[in-house]
Amino acid sequence: MTRSLQNKPLAIINNLNVSFRNGKLENQVLFDVSLELFENEILAVVGESGSGKSVTSKALMGLLPVKNAIITAKELSVMGNDLQFLKGQDWSRFRGSVISMIFQEPMSSLNPTITCGHQVAEILEIHTKLSNKDIKTEVLRLFEKVKLPIPEQTFNKYPHEISGGQMQRVMIAMAIACKPKILIADELQQH
């Protein structure tokens, strides 16, 4: 798609630098990263292990640790919102419905104490006004969409009771539940 024919980018990263503080030491891991993502566009970010793909994604999601991450950028914005000024509550509205991420590590991203169905249902409870019955129907529809076997059974299973590939499908269902404008897939495995 020709970019010049389009309007403003959905996401802009302009000269993003990220360092992690460890005591008195600072370790810079991103050096002037810039990218633009337009509507209806699939943008692939490629780089060797440790080069900063996940850190870049987490910066866009506001998920870098506030304690030790130092973030500077000429611009870091999603749909015209300057992410550097987004506060806690704004972030929870933003994440899920505007921008969402399928994380690299399913084991550490799913809550081991909550059934798969309820983890997806929670997101719909936060972001929609659907009734409990409609939420369950929607979760089952999402589970079918991501090709989870026997959605009714998966709904009541805990993450440790399903396979790694199935966990990743649950994460995909969570990420797409609120139809975000931007979906970040951090290293999707083929299962």
Q: Which residues bind ligand ATP (CB under 6 A)?
A: 20, 29, 47, 49-55, 65, 104, 187
Q: Burial code of 118-147, b = ≥16 C-beta within 10 A, e = fewer?
A: bbbbbbbeebeeeeeeebbebbbebbeebe
Q: Of 18, 54, 59, 96, which lies in the binding site for Mg ion, with binding defined by CB under 5 A?
A: 54
> What is the pattern of x (binds Mg ion, CB under 5 A) and - over residues 93-112?
-----------x--------
Within 10 angstroms of residue 59's Cβ, the number of other Cβ atoms is 23
Residue 4 or 48: the one with the smaller Cβ distance to ligand ATP is 48
| CA–CA separation, 164 and 149 (whole Å) | 13
Asked if 16 contacts 33 with a C-beta cutoff of 8 angstroms, the reply is: yes
Whichever of 29 and 79 has its CB closer to ligand ATP, that residue is: 29
Q: Check residue 119 for interaction with Mg ion (CB under 5 A).
A: no
Tell the smallest beta-carbon distance from residue 27 to Mg ion (Å).
16
Provide the residue type at 185 as one letter. Answer: A
Q: Which residue in the shown chain puts its C-beta closest to Mg ion?
A: 54
Which stretches of the chain bind Mg ion, using CB under 5 A? 53-54, 104
